[in-house]
Amino acid sequence: MLTILQLSIYSVFILIFILISLKREHHSHDIKVRVFRYMILLVLICLLLDILFISLERTSYFFTRPILVYGNAIQYALTCLTVFMWYLYNEQFIFNDLSHFRKWIKFTSIPLMINLSLSLLSPWFGFFYTITSDNVYVRGSLFLTSAITTYFYAVLTAFLIHIHRNKMRRTDYLPLMFFILPPAFGGIMQMMNYGILLIGPSLTFSFLVAFVYIQSKNMELDFLTGLYTRKELENYADILSKQKNIKKYLGGMMIDIDDFKKINDDHGHDVGDKVLREISDVFKRSFRNSDFVSRVGGDEFVAVCEVQSLMDLEVIVTRIRGHLDNINSLSHYPFEICLSIGYDLWDTKNFSKDEFMIHIDKKMYLEKDAKKLILS
Protein backbone atom coordinates (compact mmCIF):
# COMPACT_ATOMS: atom_id res chain seq x y z
CA MET A 1 0.00 0.00 0.00
CA LEU A 2 2.93 2.33 0.69
CA THR A 3 3.96 2.21 -2.99
CA ILE A 4 0.43 3.09 -4.15
CA LEU A 5 0.28 5.88 -1.55
CA GLN A 6 3.58 7.32 -2.80
CA LEU A 7 2.39 7.03 -6.41
CA SER A 8 -0.80 8.93 -5.54
CA ILE A 9 1.17 11.68 -3.77
CA TYR A 10 3.54 12.07 -6.74
CA SER A 11 0.50 12.23 -9.02
CA VAL A 12 -1.00 15.05 -6.95
CA PHE A 13 2.15 17.15 -7.34
CA ILE A 14 2.27 16.48 -11.09
CA LEU A 15 -1.36 17.58 -11.53
CA ILE A 16 -0.81 20.73 -9.44
CA PHE A 17 2.18 21.60 -11.66
CA ILE A 18 0.09 21.09 -14.82
CA LEU A 19 -2.77 23.20 -13.41
CA ILE A 20 -0.44 26.09 -12.54
CA SER A 21 1.17 25.90 -15.99
CA LEU A 22 -2.21 25.87 -17.77
CA LYS A 23 -3.37 28.90 -15.77
CA ARG A 24 -0.50 30.90 -17.25
CA GLU A 25 -1.35 29.85 -20.80
CA HIS A 26 -2.43 32.67 -23.12
CA HIS A 27 -4.98 30.27 -24.66
CA SER A 28 -6.65 29.65 -21.28
CA HIS A 29 -9.88 31.32 -22.49
CA ASP A 30 -10.38 28.42 -24.94
CA ILE A 31 -13.25 26.19 -23.78
CA LYS A 32 -11.14 23.08 -24.47
CA VAL A 33 -8.43 24.33 -22.10
CA ARG A 34 -11.08 25.06 -19.45
CA VAL A 35 -12.58 21.56 -19.79
CA PHE A 36 -9.07 20.09 -19.58
CA ARG A 37 -8.44 22.04 -16.36
CA TYR A 38 -11.74 20.89 -14.83
CA MET A 39 -10.83 17.28 -15.64
CA ILE A 40 -7.51 17.70 -13.85
CA LEU A 41 -9.29 19.20 -10.83
CA LEU A 42 -11.67 16.23 -10.68
CA VAL A 43 -8.80 13.73 -10.83
CA LEU A 44 -6.91 15.77 -8.22
CA ILE A 45 -9.89 15.45 -5.85
CA CYS A 46 -10.06 11.69 -6.54
CA LEU A 47 -6.34 11.30 -5.81
CA LEU A 48 -6.64 13.22 -2.53
CA LEU A 49 -9.53 10.92 -1.61
CA ASP A 50 -7.37 7.89 -2.51
CA ILE A 51 -4.67 9.17 -0.15
CA LEU A 52 -7.25 9.59 2.62
CA PHE A 53 -8.75 6.12 2.00
CA ILE A 54 -5.34 4.41 2.12
CA SER A 55 -4.31 6.34 5.24
CA LEU A 56 -7.59 5.88 7.15
CA GLU A 57 -8.62 2.31 6.32
CA ARG A 58 -8.94 0.18 9.49
CA THR A 59 -8.35 3.22 11.73
CA SER A 60 -10.85 4.28 14.39
CA TYR A 61 -10.64 8.09 14.41
CA PHE A 62 -13.97 9.87 14.86
CA PHE A 63 -13.74 11.24 11.30
CA THR A 64 -12.66 7.99 9.61
CA ARG A 65 -16.08 6.53 8.93
CA PRO A 66 -17.72 9.69 7.48
CA ILE A 67 -14.76 10.19 5.13
CA LEU A 68 -14.81 6.56 3.93
CA VAL A 69 -18.60 6.38 3.60
CA TYR A 70 -19.21 9.69 1.82
CA GLY A 71 -15.80 10.08 0.19
CA ASN A 72 -16.23 6.89 -1.83
CA ALA A 73 -19.61 8.14 -3.08
CA ILE A 74 -17.96 11.34 -4.29
CA GLN A 75 -15.14 9.41 -5.95
CA TYR A 76 -17.49 7.07 -7.85
CA ALA A 77 -19.41 10.09 -9.15
CA LEU A 78 -16.30 12.08 -10.12
CA THR A 79 -14.52 9.21 -11.89
CA CYS A 80 -17.38 8.76 -14.33
CA LEU A 81 -17.78 12.55 -14.68
CA THR A 82 -14.09 12.87 -15.63
CA VAL A 83 -14.44 10.45 -18.55
CA PHE A 84 -17.67 12.19 -19.58
CA MET A 85 -15.77 15.49 -19.67
CA TRP A 86 -13.14 13.86 -21.88
CA TYR A 87 -16.01 13.06 -24.24
CA LEU A 88 -17.04 16.77 -24.06
CA TYR A 89 -13.44 17.83 -24.75
CA ASN A 90 -13.35 15.76 -27.92
CA GLU A 91 -16.80 16.94 -29.01
CA GLN A 92 -15.50 20.50 -28.81
CA PHE A 93 -12.18 19.58 -30.43
CA ILE A 94 -13.90 17.95 -33.42
CA PHE A 95 -16.88 20.25 -33.97
CA ASN A 96 -15.62 23.44 -32.27
CA ASP A 97 -19.26 24.20 -31.49
CA LEU A 98 -21.17 23.48 -28.29
CA SER A 99 -24.49 23.28 -30.16
CA HIS A 100 -23.65 19.75 -31.34
CA PHE A 101 -22.94 18.69 -27.74
CA ARG A 102 -26.13 20.35 -26.47
CA LYS A 103 -28.13 18.53 -29.13
CA TRP A 104 -27.11 15.10 -27.82
CA ILE A 105 -26.49 15.73 -24.12
CA LYS A 106 -29.99 14.67 -23.05
CA PHE A 107 -29.16 11.20 -24.40
CA THR A 108 -25.44 10.94 -23.69
CA SER A 109 -25.84 12.12 -20.09
CA ILE A 110 -28.34 9.37 -19.13
CA PRO A 111 -25.66 6.85 -18.01
CA LEU A 112 -23.88 9.66 -16.12
CA MET A 113 -27.07 10.55 -14.24
CA ILE A 114 -27.70 6.87 -13.38
CA ASN A 115 -24.13 6.55 -12.07
CA LEU A 116 -24.48 9.78 -10.08
CA SER A 117 -27.75 8.62 -8.50
CA LEU A 118 -26.38 5.20 -7.53
CA SER A 119 -23.17 6.80 -6.22
CA LEU A 120 -25.04 9.21 -3.93
CA LEU A 121 -27.38 6.45 -2.70
CA SER A 122 -24.56 3.97 -2.01
CA PRO A 123 -23.75 5.25 1.52
CA TRP A 124 -27.24 4.11 2.58
CA PHE A 125 -28.03 1.22 0.22
CA GLY A 126 -24.57 -0.17 -0.60
CA PHE A 127 -25.09 -0.25 -4.37
CA PHE A 128 -21.43 0.35 -5.28
CA TYR A 129 -19.73 -0.32 -1.93
CA THR A 130 -20.14 -0.71 1.80
CA ILE A 131 -17.86 0.21 4.70
CA THR A 132 -17.62 -2.51 7.35
CA SER A 133 -17.65 -1.92 11.09
CA ASP A 134 -13.83 -2.17 10.96
CA ASN A 135 -13.77 0.69 8.43
CA VAL A 136 -12.81 -1.54 5.50
CA TYR A 137 -14.08 -0.89 1.96
CA VAL A 138 -16.09 -3.74 0.35
CA ARG A 139 -17.45 -3.69 -3.21
CA GLY A 140 -21.23 -3.60 -3.59
CA SER A 141 -23.53 -5.72 -5.73
CA LEU A 142 -23.75 -3.04 -8.46
CA PHE A 143 -20.03 -2.22 -8.47
CA LEU A 144 -19.66 -3.33 -12.10
CA THR A 145 -22.46 -0.95 -13.15
CA SER A 146 -20.22 2.03 -12.38
CA ALA A 147 -17.29 0.45 -14.21
CA ILE A 148 -19.45 -0.32 -17.26
CA THR A 149 -20.82 3.25 -17.30
CA THR A 150 -17.33 4.74 -17.14
CA TYR A 151 -16.02 2.46 -19.88
CA PHE A 152 -19.09 3.29 -21.97
CA TYR A 153 -17.93 6.92 -22.18
CA ALA A 154 -14.37 5.81 -22.93
CA VAL A 155 -15.57 3.66 -25.85
CA LEU A 156 -18.01 6.37 -27.01
CA THR A 157 -15.18 8.91 -27.08
CA ALA A 158 -12.87 6.56 -28.99
CA PHE A 159 -15.69 5.89 -31.48
CA LEU A 160 -16.33 9.64 -31.87
CA ILE A 161 -12.64 10.33 -32.54
CA HIS A 162 -12.36 7.49 -35.04
CA ILE A 163 -15.46 8.22 -37.14
CA HIS A 164 -14.58 11.92 -37.32
CA ARG A 165 -10.84 11.43 -37.91
CA ASN A 166 -11.17 13.16 -41.29
CA LYS A 167 -12.21 16.37 -39.49
CA MET A 168 -8.90 16.62 -37.65
CA ARG A 169 -5.25 16.76 -38.57
CA ARG A 170 -3.56 13.36 -38.75
CA THR A 171 -1.11 14.39 -36.03
CA ASP A 172 -4.01 14.90 -33.57
CA TYR A 173 -5.65 11.50 -34.04
CA LEU A 174 -3.21 9.26 -32.14
CA PRO A 175 -2.72 11.54 -29.09
CA LEU A 176 -6.50 11.83 -28.65
CA MET A 177 -6.96 8.07 -28.97
CA PHE A 178 -4.03 7.35 -26.65
CA PHE A 179 -5.33 9.45 -23.74
CA ILE A 180 -7.91 6.91 -22.60
CA LEU A 181 -5.64 3.82 -22.84
CA PRO A 182 -3.61 4.19 -19.59
CA PRO A 183 -6.69 4.77 -17.35
CA ALA A 184 -8.57 1.99 -19.18
CA PHE A 185 -5.69 -0.40 -18.46
CA GLY A 186 -5.34 0.95 -14.90
CA GLY A 187 -9.07 0.44 -14.30
CA ILE A 188 -8.90 -3.18 -15.45
CA MET A 189 -5.88 -3.83 -13.21
CA GLN A 190 -7.70 -2.20 -10.28
CA MET A 191 -10.76 -4.40 -10.81
CA MET A 192 -8.62 -7.54 -11.02
CA ASN A 193 -6.42 -6.65 -8.02
CA TYR A 194 -8.72 -5.78 -5.14
CA GLY A 195 -7.47 -2.88 -3.02
CA ILE A 196 -4.99 -1.44 -5.52
CA LEU A 197 -5.86 2.12 -6.63
CA LEU A 198 -4.47 2.77 -10.12
CA ILE A 199 -7.07 4.86 -11.96
CA GLY A 200 -5.89 8.20 -10.52
CA PRO A 201 -2.16 7.66 -11.24
CA SER A 202 -2.88 6.28 -14.73
CA LEU A 203 -5.08 9.32 -15.51
CA THR A 204 -2.23 11.52 -14.29
CA PHE A 205 0.09 9.83 -16.78
CA SER A 206 -2.42 10.55 -19.56
CA PHE A 207 -2.70 14.19 -18.47
CA LEU A 208 1.09 14.52 -18.45
CA VAL A 209 1.36 13.15 -22.00
CA ALA A 210 -1.54 15.37 -23.13
CA PHE A 211 0.04 18.41 -21.46
CA VAL A 212 3.34 17.84 -23.27
CA TYR A 213 1.40 17.49 -26.53
CA ILE A 214 -0.58 20.70 -25.85
CA GLN A 215 2.66 22.55 -25.09
CA SER A 216 4.22 21.34 -28.34
CA LYS A 217 1.12 22.51 -30.25
CA ASN A 218 1.15 25.90 -28.51
CA MET A 219 4.74 26.44 -29.67
CA GLU A 220 3.37 26.27 -33.23
CA LEU A 221 0.70 28.92 -32.57
CA ASP A 222 0.64 32.68 -32.88
CA PHE A 223 0.50 34.23 -29.40
CA LEU A 224 -2.28 36.73 -30.13
CA THR A 225 -4.69 34.77 -32.33
CA GLY A 226 -4.04 31.11 -31.49
CA LEU A 227 -3.62 30.37 -35.21
CA TYR A 228 -0.57 28.73 -36.74
CA THR A 229 2.51 30.86 -37.40
CA ARG A 230 4.06 31.66 -40.78
CA LYS A 231 6.89 29.23 -40.03
CA GLU A 232 4.43 26.37 -39.47
CA LEU A 233 2.66 27.29 -42.72
CA GLU A 234 5.97 27.09 -44.59
CA ASN A 235 6.68 23.65 -43.11
CA TYR A 236 3.15 22.38 -43.79
CA ALA A 237 3.09 23.69 -47.36
CA ASP A 238 6.51 22.12 -48.05
CA ILE A 239 5.22 18.74 -46.90
CA LEU A 240 2.07 19.02 -49.02
CA SER A 241 3.95 20.12 -52.13
CA LYS A 242 6.06 16.94 -51.98
CA GLN A 243 3.17 14.52 -51.47
CA LYS A 244 2.19 12.53 -54.54
CA ASN A 245 -0.71 10.46 -53.20
CA ILE A 246 -3.12 13.20 -52.14
CA LYS A 247 -6.61 11.78 -52.66
CA LYS A 248 -8.41 15.13 -52.46
CA TYR A 249 -7.74 18.50 -54.04
CA LEU A 250 -5.82 21.12 -52.10
CA GLY A 251 -7.27 24.58 -51.76
CA GLY A 252 -5.73 27.77 -50.46
CA MET A 253 -6.99 31.13 -49.24
CA MET A 254 -5.25 34.44 -48.74
CA ILE A 255 -7.24 36.69 -46.39
CA ASP A 256 -6.61 40.31 -45.48
CA ILE A 257 -8.43 42.70 -43.11
CA ASP A 258 -9.45 45.80 -45.06
CA ASP A 259 -8.07 49.13 -43.76
CA PHE A 260 -6.48 47.49 -40.74
CA LYS A 261 -3.74 50.13 -40.56
CA LYS A 262 -6.44 52.81 -40.34
CA ILE A 263 -8.12 50.89 -37.48
CA ASN A 264 -4.81 50.82 -35.59
CA ASP A 265 -4.03 54.49 -36.32
CA ASP A 266 -7.50 55.83 -35.48
CA HIS A 267 -8.48 53.59 -32.56
CA GLY A 268 -5.21 52.26 -31.13
CA HIS A 269 -3.40 48.93 -31.16
CA ASP A 270 -5.54 47.52 -28.32
CA VAL A 271 -8.61 47.76 -30.55
CA GLY A 272 -6.57 46.35 -33.44
CA ASP A 273 -5.59 43.35 -31.30
CA LYS A 274 -9.23 42.77 -30.33
CA VAL A 275 -10.19 42.79 -34.02
CA LEU A 276 -7.47 40.23 -34.78
CA ARG A 277 -8.74 37.96 -31.99
CA GLU A 278 -12.33 38.27 -33.21
CA ILE A 279 -11.28 37.46 -36.77
CA SER A 280 -9.35 34.41 -35.56
CA ASP A 281 -12.49 33.26 -33.71
CA VAL A 282 -14.43 33.66 -36.97
CA PHE A 283 -11.88 31.42 -38.70
CA LYS A 284 -12.04 28.81 -35.95
CA ARG A 285 -15.82 28.63 -36.36
CA SER A 286 -15.69 28.66 -40.16
CA PHE A 287 -12.87 26.25 -41.00
CA ARG A 288 -12.74 22.56 -40.11
CA ASN A 289 -10.27 21.11 -37.61
CA SER A 290 -8.43 19.42 -40.47
CA ASP A 291 -7.85 22.79 -42.20
CA PHE A 292 -4.60 24.66 -41.64
CA VAL A 293 -5.16 28.34 -40.81
CA SER A 294 -2.22 30.63 -40.12
CA ARG A 295 -1.43 34.27 -39.47
CA VAL A 296 1.37 35.22 -41.85
CA GLY A 297 1.55 38.97 -41.23
CA GLY A 298 0.01 41.75 -39.18
CA ASP A 299 -3.43 41.45 -40.77
CA GLU A 300 -2.86 38.69 -43.33
CA PHE A 301 -3.92 35.08 -43.00
CA VAL A 302 -3.43 31.99 -45.15
CA ALA A 303 -5.51 28.80 -45.02
CA VAL A 304 -4.76 25.47 -46.69
CA CYS A 305 -7.58 22.91 -46.95
CA GLU A 306 -8.22 19.48 -48.42
CA VAL A 307 -11.38 19.80 -50.55
CA GLN A 308 -13.43 17.89 -53.10
CA SER A 309 -13.89 20.88 -55.41
CA LEU A 310 -13.73 24.67 -55.63
CA MET A 311 -17.28 24.72 -54.27
CA ASP A 312 -15.99 23.51 -50.87
CA LEU A 313 -13.81 26.61 -50.66
CA GLU A 314 -16.79 28.78 -51.61
CA VAL A 315 -18.81 27.20 -48.78
CA ILE A 316 -16.05 28.10 -46.29
CA VAL A 317 -15.92 31.68 -47.63
CA THR A 318 -19.70 31.94 -47.21
CA ARG A 319 -19.38 30.74 -43.60
CA ILE A 320 -16.66 33.31 -42.93
CA ARG A 321 -18.77 36.14 -44.33
CA GLY A 322 -21.82 34.96 -42.37
CA HIS A 323 -19.94 34.91 -39.05
CA LEU A 324 -18.39 38.28 -39.89
CA ASP A 325 -21.84 39.78 -40.59
CA ASN A 326 -22.96 38.56 -37.15
CA ILE A 327 -19.99 40.27 -35.50
CA ASN A 328 -20.62 43.54 -37.35
CA SER A 329 -24.34 43.51 -36.51
CA LEU A 330 -23.56 43.12 -32.78
CA SER A 331 -20.38 45.18 -32.78
CA HIS A 332 -19.74 48.19 -30.57
CA TYR A 333 -16.96 49.39 -32.88
CA PRO A 334 -17.49 52.68 -34.78
CA PHE A 335 -16.34 50.90 -37.94
CA GLU A 336 -17.20 47.78 -39.92
CA ILE A 337 -14.77 44.86 -40.13
CA CYS A 338 -14.33 43.71 -43.74
CA LEU A 339 -12.19 40.98 -45.29
CA SER A 340 -10.77 40.53 -48.77
CA ILE A 341 -10.35 36.87 -49.72
CA GLY A 342 -8.49 35.29 -52.62
CA TYR A 343 -8.84 31.53 -53.06
CA ASP A 344 -8.30 28.76 -55.57
CA LEU A 345 -7.40 25.09 -55.97
CA TRP A 346 -3.71 24.27 -55.66
CA ASP A 347 -2.26 22.00 -58.33
CA THR A 348 0.97 20.95 -56.59
CA LYS A 349 2.31 19.38 -59.81
CA ASN A 350 2.22 22.64 -61.77
CA PHE A 351 2.42 25.27 -59.02
CA SER A 352 5.19 25.52 -56.46
CA LYS A 353 4.28 26.68 -52.97
CA ASP A 354 5.57 30.21 -53.62
CA GLU A 355 3.87 30.46 -57.02
CA PHE A 356 0.54 29.43 -55.52
CA MET A 357 0.85 31.96 -52.68
CA ILE A 358 1.50 34.72 -55.22
CA HIS A 359 -1.50 33.50 -57.24
CA ILE A 360 -4.03 33.65 -54.37
CA ASP A 361 -2.47 36.90 -53.13
CA LYS A 362 -3.22 38.46 -56.54
CA LYS A 363 -6.80 37.16 -56.38
CA MET A 364 -7.18 38.68 -52.94
CA TYR A 365 -5.97 42.09 -54.18
CA LEU A 366 -8.33 41.86 -57.16
CA GLU A 367 -11.23 41.63 -54.70
CA LYS A 368 -9.79 44.49 -52.64
CA ASP A 369 -9.42 46.68 -55.75
CA ALA A 370 -12.97 45.80 -56.89
CA LYS A 371 -14.33 47.08 -53.55
CA LYS A 372 -12.44 50.36 -53.96
CA LEU A 373 -13.88 50.82 -57.45
CA ILE A 374 -17.42 50.29 -56.13
CA LEU A 375 -16.86 52.81 -53.32
CA SER A 376 -15.39 55.37 -55.70
Decide if pLDDT at 257 tops 90: yes
pTM (two decimals): 0.74
Cα–Cα distance between 131 and 140 in angstroms, integer?
A: 10
Q: Which of 165, 197, 218 is the last residue of a domain?
A: 218
pLDDT tens-digit map of 107-142: 999 999 999 999 999 999 999 999 999 999 999 999
Instruction: Give the residues across from 252 on adjacent strands.
Output: 304, 344
Decide if pLDDT at 29 tops 70: no
User: Could you say which DSSP state residue 350 is in?
Assistant: T
**What pLDDT is recorded for position 356?**
92
How many domains in the chain?
Answer: 2
Does 90 share its domain with 213? Answer: yes
Does 163 share its domain with 239? Answer: no
- Cβ burial 11-29 (10 Å sphere, 16+ → b, else e): bbebbeebbeebeeeeeee
Q: Which of 78-87, 174-183, 220-229 shows the lowest per-residue confidence on average (mean pLDDT)?
A: 220-229
**What pLDDT is recorded for position 130?**
96
Instruction: Give the residues across from 71 on adjacent strands.
Output: none
Does 207 share its domain with 97? Answer: yes
Q: Which of 71-75, 80-84, 355-359, 372-376 shows the lowest per-residue confidence on average (mean pLDDT)?
A: 372-376
pLDDT tens-digit map of 267-321: 999 999 999 999 999 998 899 878 889 999 889 999 999 888 999 999 999 999 9
Does 161 share its domain with 276? Answer: no
Percent of the chain with pLDDT over 70: 95
Residue 304 inside a domain? The answer is yes
Does 152 share its domain with 289? Answer: no
Residue 244 inside a domain? The answer is yes
Instruction: Name the more confident of 237 and 301.
Output: 301
**What pLDDT is recorded for position 2?**
53
Does 197 share its domain with 244? Answer: no
**What pLDDT is recorded for position 246?**
62
**What pLDDT is recorded for position 245?**
61
Instruction: Name the more confident of 170 and 187.
Output: 187
Task: Return the amino acid letter for 318.
Answer: T
Confidence of residue 23 (pLDDT cuts 50, 70, 90): confident
Does 50 share its domain with 102? Answer: yes
How far is the first Cα of the chain from the last one, in angstroms, to the nearest whole number?
80
Instruction: Name the more confident of 232 and 158.
Output: 158
**What pLDDT is recorded for position 167?**
76
Looking at every residue in the chain, the average pLDDT score rounds to: 89
Confidence of residue 225 (pLDDT cuts 50, 70, 90): confident
Does 50 share its domain with 147? Answer: yes
Does 238 share its domain with 317? Answer: yes
Q: Which of 218, 247, 268 is the last residue of a domain?
A: 218
Does 295 share its domain with 206? Answer: no
For the domain that residue 333 is a member of, what is the CATH number? 3.30.70.270
Cα–Cα distance between 173 and 92 in angstroms, integer?
A: 14
For the domain that residue 135 is a member of, what is the CATH number? 1.20.1070.10
Does 301 share its domain with 203? Answer: no
Task: Return the amino acid letter for 195.
Answer: G
pLDDT tens-digit map of 329-347: 988 889 999 999 999 999 8
- Could you tell me the residue range of the domain that residue 93 belongs to? 2-218
Does 238 share its domain with 347? Answer: yes
Instruction: Name the more confident of 321 and 249.
Output: 321
